[in-house]
């Protein structure tokens, strides 16, 4: 019995976006790994393959905005949308526990993280280290924006992209599986990165940091070493030809 065509196309997206890592893909689209695995296995009760639900398809197209929804639904066209020359804005935020208010328009301050002593200082001294203002429509409330350096989230977020963030002051507010801007002290040096925060097997006072880039291995850290934390809401990429 052949896997339904639409399930096969979902498998192609999983292979393309996460190198076949169903667990990572499930975290990105906030659909359980078990639900995704069912798409590729015959249901012993019906002796048929389950068909992907609307929730799964919607979650995929919301998270991966470059995926061609017509191709996903019908197989027509190419898997990825044709790239445009203008700037691309990606809504990273996908609520998992509650729905935040979407603002029709907001001005977000773009900061120079290199000029600030560290991320915590940047959060406190909001009138300093300002590069400019970004005006964006139809996104959740953001506290600031800055340029990305490093390749830990490549190709989802590349060095030179801009990310907009919401400051997090209580570690109890961490939504595991989401993407964060993290400032840490590692052997006396300030370390700033963007990572997924997931549960650590070492206990409640630890977190695991995972990259989208498979060349970076997951690492566990104690929360006490985290100086500042922000939830990534939006990324902006400048495309040049």
> What are the tens digits of pLDDT across the range 157-206?
988 999 999 998 888 888 888 999 999 887 778 888 999 999 999 988 99
Q: Tens digit of pLDDT for each residue in 119-138? A: 888 888 888 899 999 999 98
pTM attached to this predicted model: 0.60
Q: Which CATH class is domain 88-237?
A: mainly beta
What burial class does residue 221 get, using C-beta atoms within 10 Å of its C-beta: 0-12 exposed, 13-18 middle, 19+ buried?
Answer: buried
What interhelical angle do 22-29 and 5-18 show, nearest 10?
100
Say if residue 96's pLDDT is above 50: no
CATH topology of domain 5-74: 434 Repressor (Amino-terminal Domain) (1.10.260)
Backbone angles phi, psi at 101, to 5 degrees: -70, 130
Q: Tens digit of pLDDT for each residue in 25-47? A: 998 888 899 999 999 998 888 88
Q: What is the DSSP letter of 43?
A: B
Domain range annotation of the chain: 5-74, 88-237
């Amino acid at each position: 019995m052949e896997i339904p065509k639409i399930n096969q196309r979902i498998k192609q997206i999983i292979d393309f976006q996460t190198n076949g890592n169903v667990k990572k893909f499930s975290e990105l689209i906030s659909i359980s790994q078990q639900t995704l695995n069912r798409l590729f296995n015959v249901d012993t009760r019906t002796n048929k393959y389950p068909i992907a639900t609307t929730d799964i398809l919607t979650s995929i197209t919301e998270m991966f905005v470059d995926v061609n929804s017509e191709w996903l639904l019908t197989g027509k066209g190419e898997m990825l949308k044709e790239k445009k020359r203008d700037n691309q804005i990606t809504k990273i935020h996908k609520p998992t526990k509650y729905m935040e208010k979407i603002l029709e328009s907001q001005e977000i301050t773009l900061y120079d993280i290199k000029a600030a002593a560290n991320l915590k200082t940047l959060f406190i001294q909001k009138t300093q280290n300002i590069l400019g203002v970004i005006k964006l429509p139809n996104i959740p409330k953001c506290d600031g924006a800055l340029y990305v350096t490093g390749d830990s989230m490549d190709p989802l977020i590349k060095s030179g992209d801009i990310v907009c963030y919401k400051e997090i002051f209580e570690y109890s507010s961490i939504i595991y599986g989401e993407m964060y801007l993290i400032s840490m002290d590692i052997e006396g040096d300030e370390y700033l990165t963007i990572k997924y925060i997931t549960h650590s097997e070492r206990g409640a006072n630890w977190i695991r940091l995972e990259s989208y880039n498979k060349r970076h291995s997951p690492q566990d850290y104690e929360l006490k070493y985290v100086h500042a934390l922000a939830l990534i809401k939006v990324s902006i990429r400048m495309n040049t030809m």
